[in-house]
Amino acid sequence: MNANDSQMVKAQLQTKLPEFRVGDMVKVAHQVIEGGKQRVAQFSGLVIARSHGQGINATFTVRSTAAGGYGIERIFPLHSPIIESLEPQKRVKVRRAKLYYLRREIDKKRRRFTTTEEYSAPTPAAEVEAVAKDEAVESPITEAAAEKEPAVVETK
C-alpha cells in the first residue's frame, strides 16, 4: 500500500462512532435506496459478532427477531457512509467474542413454545367407531379440492 492509498483510507474512517461491543443491543439507522428514492431505515438488535478489527474492513453483525419469530441478521461495515447513526441501547455482559450459538438457542426456545394448529384427517379408529354407530364420517377433502379433481369413471 503506498502513501496515497493510506491517506484515502484514513479519510474514509469514521471518527464519531460510539463504543459498543458484542452483546450490546444497538439501533442502526442506515440509508436505503429503493428505486429512485432514498430513505433512512432503523434496524435494532443484538450485536453477535465484530470482525476484521478496527480498520476500514471492520464489520459487525446485528441479529434481530421478526414478528413471526424468525431471526434476521445484517452485517454492517463499520466505516460505511450508509450508516447514519449507531446508538447502543443496552449492554449485556457476555463471555464470548462471537454469539453465534444464540442462533439455534433462540430458535429452539421459539419452537418449544409455539403451537401449530394443523388440520388432521379423521383417524381410522374414528372412522370404524362412526361406521359402527351408523354416523356419517366427514371427508377430509374440501369442496374446492373436489371441484379441482375430476371424478374417476370406470368403463368396461
pLDDT tens digits, the chain, 156 residues: what are they? 566 678 878 888 877 888 999 999 999 999 999 999 999 999 999 999 999 988 889 999 999 988 877 889 999 999 988 999 999 998 888 888 999 888 887 666 656 555 554 444 455 555 556 555 655 555 555 555 555 555 555 565
Number of helices (H), then strands (E), belonging to the chain: the values are: 4, 5
Kindly list the domain boundaries of the chain, sorted by start residue.
3-113
How far is it, in rounded angstroms, from Cα 112 to Cα 24? 26
Does the 3-113 domain belong in CATH 2.40.50.140? no
Amino acid sitting at position 86: L
pLDDT score at 66 = 83
Residue where the block lists cell 493510506: 6
The reported pTM is: 0.63
